[in-house]
Structure 1
Amino acid sequence: MSGKIAGIVLGLGMVVSCMAQQGGGWVVKQEWVRAHEEFLASDVMAGRGSATRDEEITATYVASEFMAYGLKPAPGMSGYIQSAEVVAPQLDGKATLTVGSVMLREGQDFQLLTSSAEATRGTLKKVAAVDAGQAEVKGAVVLLTGDPKTALDAANGLVRRGATAVLVVQSGASDELASMFGGKTQVRMRLAESKPTPGRTLVALTAEAVNRLAEEGNAKAELAVHVLPEGNVRRTFNAIGYLEGSDPSDGTILLTAHLDHLGVGRPVNGDSIFNGANDDAAGTAAVLELAHALGAGPKLRRNVLFVCYGSEEAGTLGSTYFGQHSPVPLKSLVANLEFEMIGTQDPKMPKGVLLLTGWERSNLGPTLKEHGALLGPDPYPEQHFFQRSDNYALALKGVVAHTAAGWGTPPTYHQPSDDLAHLDIAFMTGAIQSLVEPVRWLAQSDFRPKWNEGGQPVAGSK
């Protein structure tokens, strides 16, 4: 770029900043928010699949915006992108399930919904879904009978208690789950630097297959899967920007979202691109516009670190890697505010208000609300949303970390219909606007959020 053109661009940037701050305060423009969405959620981005080239392009876009807003590389980094190697097994779609004398085939007799990418063995044990909470399942391949929705809800608990695999009857509920996974078997990825850990194996059997197993009680069961030799090692990408404060020793505010989604999967109503406009291009747009606002203002007292993680959908790999390789000491983090699916208004929340997961766990949410943030308590405590986003890994390390969200489970969740047409841009913009000054205040003040008594999570807790 020539010096003349660079000067013009810089001048235009100053004009935009001045226009945005007319009237004494920063104004978040709807067209800025929509512009991020137009790119991030476009079909050309092919759903921003975890640990793909599309994710890398997304991280590059976010990094370029950070640069344009005046952010610098984080301490110890030479650029704006943090990359990590991940192991991403791919299956050939020809798994077999052998139970006693019966052999069942993937695609014909069952759907393999989730897999550890390793052979699974155990003794078949039939359990009524309503009794799953009390059943002894360690080392067993569990066939859950009864209501399909109840069975699916119970599956995770059985795996945590030692079931090697869970079999359910194929139903509308399991088909919906398969669609939420993009129509592909969800296979556990892992960071290359991490050791393999047991994954969840969940199988949806056809009704005919279940009948074939009727006489096979207590038989030995084995699920054999076949990992393709190519494409198992990939990279994931975090975009990171940094605003150094006037007193760096006073700690760092961390603002985060995840930039990946599900990529391309099984078509739903003819659409196979899972655009992820709400999940989580919306959160990414929030981080970008807060960087825009804070980067254009006067220097803050505390540092502010802006991070958009990769591979959240593959098991929060980007945030896990960040937590293990943070450019600033984790003990210096004053608070973490994650933005997840802020693109639509939850019908259970007051008009214009975002829910904050774990509201009652610390004094962060109520304090930001006192300073004008449109935040309120999560109306879905039974869904454990606090544990289901990138904030949780840092919360386990002691950082006061919460997630702000629009609607916990909108109808478009993990569907191709999560596109620009289903966003409420005005709601998004208002929510982001409401956080500009409260976050600025947090970065200028002496206030340090604290966990309420019993609020800090510990591993394995709910």
Structure 2
Amino acid sequence: MKKVIGYTLLLCSTHVYAQKHINIRVEDVSKTISVLASDSLQGRKVFTPEIDKAAQYIAEAFQQAGLKPLKGNSFLQSFSMVSATQESLTAKSNGTEVDPQKIVLITSKPQITLSSHNLSIEKITATDNFFSKAIQFAASDKDLLVVVDPAFADRFPRLSMLKRSFFQSAASVAFVLGDVDTQNLTITASHNIKEHQLANVVGILPGKKKADEYVIFSAHYDHLGIGKPVNGDSIYNGANDNASGTTAVIELAKYFKAKGDNERTLIFAAFTAEESGGFGSQYFSKQLPPEKVVAMLNIEMIGTDSKWGKNSAYITGFEKTDLGTILQKNLKGTDFNFYPDPYPDQQLFYRSDNATLARLGVAAHTISTSKMDNEPNYHKPSDEVSTLDLENMTAIIKAIALSAKSIIAGTDTPSRVDTSDLR
């Protein structure tokens, strides 16, 4: 018994020692996040010079850390988006005029006429996650007519936000509020289509014995930019959302490169356009064979204490794979805890940048501390570095590094997401 107790105490002390001696320093965390959330970057809004500056800063950080680009010679993973300004839209059902406010059309075509007879029909029901399903349908590669349950009538106009930016596509998707007769519906519309350039920032650390198996650490680096002034401040800095997650990705890249013992290939990704519909992560996910992605740890808003206080965070979709259990196991003996997502009604698992790969079966989860029922600075100009707990944030980044060790070493492989309920 004494030997068992002694061994247990030794194991616990080893874990505590390992956590304390992970070389991720609060000084470095502070320096990185202070740049990303500075007024000079003006909130890192998509399609602005400032988000380009943020991307360049992250790319330089990856280069200095010793990463390699995912493809080619650049850390920037560039892609095109289009935006559509509607100039006119008319609709008729059985010869009767339909209120155009009850239709939102996503299209890359300047002129288009759609008939319900030639469209695949889908539905967003009252029990669905409205925006998650809408984003999924908006990315369709075939023409769709999506009937939206009248229960979402108050949210329906917000679908027009999807027209601000989307991937160029030969397909068009018409969302129609459910009280419209869609049996003989014809929609005619004209749009002014503009093309825009965006870029994720992606670097890799090649693995050794299992180089063709990938572990991803990710976060989005965009935010809201300049907005409505509050107490004289119009810059929505996005320190917690999500300069905190991006900082974690940069610091983890530096740490694992210095450690130099990863058996699996590590990919570090900073996504653009999360606030606009998750387009950066959608594009990124299409560049990788999902069967080669072992795990994705997406990091979203870790700058404030969780509902359990310090040294804790939660994992979205905890029950969908055993990744969370593996992370918990690797933290035994430390004073840090990962918990299941305490906000299941928010359906966070499919609302962040992990969602695209999760829908493809990857053990892709988001780690966060955000109190979804009480984050006073969320999407406000007051989301600044001064409101964050950088000591605790550093502890979270260290915990992520330690908890992922067996996955990175190739000794643990998380189970896959059951995607049968998504078909």
Task: Specify if TM > 0.5.
Answer: yes
Between 239-248 and 411-420, report the one with greater CA deviation.
411-420
Which structure is higher in strand share?
2
**Identity %, equivalent residues:** 31
Q: Out of 315, 318, 324, which is 1:356 matched to? A: 315
Deviations 1:84-128 (A, max 9, x none): 000023579x999xxx99x99xxxxxxx9x96568999xxxxxxx
Relative distance call for 1:116 and 1:55 in structure 2 (3 A) is farther
Q: 1:287 matched to which residue of 2? A: 249
Q: 1:163 matched to which residue of 2? A: 148
The Cα of 1:27 is off from its aligned counterpart by 2.5
Q: Distance in 1 between matches of 2:130 and 2:79?
A: 31
Q: Distance in 2 between matches of 1:61 and 1:392?
A: 26
The Cα of 1:224 is off from its aligned counterpart by 11
Deviations 1:371-397 (A, max 9, x none): 116421100111100010111110111
Deviations 1:227-251 (A, max 9, x none): 666xx21111111111111224451
Q: Out of 366, 383, 391, which is 2:346 matched to? A: 383
Relative distance call for 1:91 and 1:416 in structure 2 (3 A) is farther
Deviations 1:16-51 (A, max 9, x none): xxxxx9999333211211112211111211211124
Q: Distance in 2 between matches of 1:351 and 1:57?
A: 33
Would you say the 8 A contact 1:188–1:315 is kept in 2? no
Amino acid at match of 1:377: P
Q: 2:368 matched to which residue of 1? A: 405
The Cα of 1:268 is off from its aligned counterpart by 3.1
Q: Distance in 2 between matches of 1:361 and 1:139?
A: 25
SS at match of 1:414: coil
Q: 2:173 matched to which residue of 1? A: 197
Amino acid at match of 1:277: A
Which ranges in structure 1 are unaligned for 5 or more consecutive residues?
1-20, 105-111, 122-137, 141-150, 202-216
Q: Distance in 2 between matches of 1:22 and 1:115?
A: 53
Q: Distance in 2 between matches of 1:225 and 1:422?
A: 46
Q: Distance in 1 between matches of 2:122 and 2:298?
A: 37
The Cα of 1:350 is off from its aligned counterpart by 5.0
Q: Distance in 2 between matches of 1:423 and 1:244?
A: 33
Matched, 1:31 2:16: no
Q: 1:322 matched to which residue of 2? A: 284
Structure 2 counterparts to residues 101-140 of structure 1, below 5 A: 116=105
Deviations 1:29-76 (A, max 9, x none): 1121111221111121121112433222222111110111111122x4
Deviations 1:405-437 (A, max 9, x none): 111422222222222222221221110011222
SS at match of 1:88: strand
Q: Distance in 2 between matches of 1:419 and 1:384?
A: 26
Would you say the 8 A contact 2:213–2:265 is kept in 1? yes
Structure 2 counterparts to residues 260-271 of structure 1, below 5 A: 260-271=222-233
Q: Distance in 2 between matches of 1:352 and 1:341?
A: 14
Relative distance call for 1:363 and 1:72 in structure 2 (3 A) is same
Q: TM-score, normalised by structure 1?
A: 0.68
Q: Out of 218, 225, 229, which is 1:256 matched to? A: 218
Q: Out of 54, 59, 64, which is 2:60 matched to? A: 64
Q: Out of 411, 418, 421, which is 1:446 matched to? A: 411
Q: 2:73 matched to which residue of 1? A: 78
Q: 1:346 matched to which residue of 2? A: 306
Task: Give the number of equivalent residue pairs.
Answer: 376
Q: Out of 314, 334, 338, which is 2:294 matched to? A: 334
Relative distance call for 1:448 and 1:157 in structure 2 (3 A) is closer
Would you say the 8 A contact 1:240–1:307 is kept in 2? yes
SS at match of 1:351: coil
Q: Distance in 2 between matches of 1:155 and 1:346?
A: 26
Q: TM-score, normalised by structure 2?
A: 0.74
The Cα of 1:185 is off from its aligned counterpart by 5.6
SS at match of 1:78: coil
SS at match of 2:67: coil
